[in-house]
Amino acid sequence: MPDKDPDSRIDALMKGAVDLHIHSGPSLHPRKIDHIEALKQADEAGMRAILLKDHYYPTMPIATLLNDNMESETEVLSAIVMNHPLGGFNPSAVDYALKQGARIVWMPTAHAENHIIKTSKDLKGKFPENSKKTVEAAGLRLVGDNGAVRDDVKQILDLIAEADACVSAGHHHVDEAFPFYEEARARGVTRLFLNHPTYVNGGSMDQIRDLVGMGVMMEHSICMFIPSTFQLFDDEHLRNVIAAAGVENTFFGSDLGQNGNPTPVEGMRAIIELLLRLGYPDSDVRAMTATNAARFVGLAE
């Protein structure tokens, strides 16, 4: 029997939702909304928390200003990404970011060697381009020629462990991700996740299962499953990635905020609608759009 009031069901599931992957502006990548508007829309929808991510600057000061001055119920979280504008694998930048409240450290994204290679070939046009010309970026790798994790990456992992923060292998190939997460676990990092594992990271379903077995959560980008400039995957792929990790190890981040795309709130509503249409019960949808991410990032119960 069709749902008589699907909008009300989606409205209810939006209450308490958590989006750990919002690309609002300002940014060198063209953005549809800025950080203030992203928060206003999330607050109006009743979301519990959003996390602001920029590939080229840390977002702690912005999050602090918004939390202290916007009088919203939605909490703004912050992050740092290890691309070249932050010095690449820069332990000092991570140290300062964590001590200012950053909850997530992403290894290189746009400046990972794997990202540069893949977005110039089979994924060309599936990642935003800078609005201004910038210094050409040399590709970064998590491991050296011997396959061992770099010493500066190890130092960063020690800082993350000390702060009980979260870490992602960014846009590096899954073959680099395995030794990276092994090293992270050995150094006491417990909040491990990988974004869009079957996108630029090139992971298979078996590799998702193996990573989950190591304690790595899977965050899937909503923009890749709904109508957007980044849509790549069909409903069957969605079912498969959820099954590979299990509902309990899966959460969704919008990965939205760009020109020409739905807003992050619109994206979260769309994935909730899609998951319901595919037959997932409300409890599973809430887990994958709210409680799993809240628990992972360390939000209070």
pLDDT of residue 135: 75
* Per-residue pLDDT reduced to its tens digit, 140-159: 999 999 999 999 999 999 99
168, 177 contact by CB (below 8 A): no
User: In angstroms, how far apart are the furthest CA atoms of the chain?
Assistant: 59
**pLDDT classification of 126: cutoffs 50, 70, 90:** low
- Cβ atoms of 278 and 284 within 8 Å: the answer is no
How does pLDDT run across 179-224, given as a tens digit for each residue? 999 999 999 999 999 999 999 999 999 999 999 999 999 999 999 9
CB of 193 closer than 8 Å to CB of 168: yes
* Annotation: CATH topology of 6-297: TIM Barrel (3.20.20)
- Percent of the chain exceeding pLDDT 90 equals 89
Chain centroid to CA 258:
15
pLDDT > 50? residue 1 = no
More confident residue, 80 or 137: 80
Average pLDDT in the 247-264 region? 97
What DSSP line would sit under 97-136, residue for residue? HHHTT--EEEPPSTTBHHHHHHHTTTTTTSS---SS--PP
pLDDT of residue 131: 65
Torsional sign, CA 123, 128, 129, 134: negative
Boundaries of every domain in the chain: 6-297
Q: Give the model's pLDDT for residue 30.
A: 87
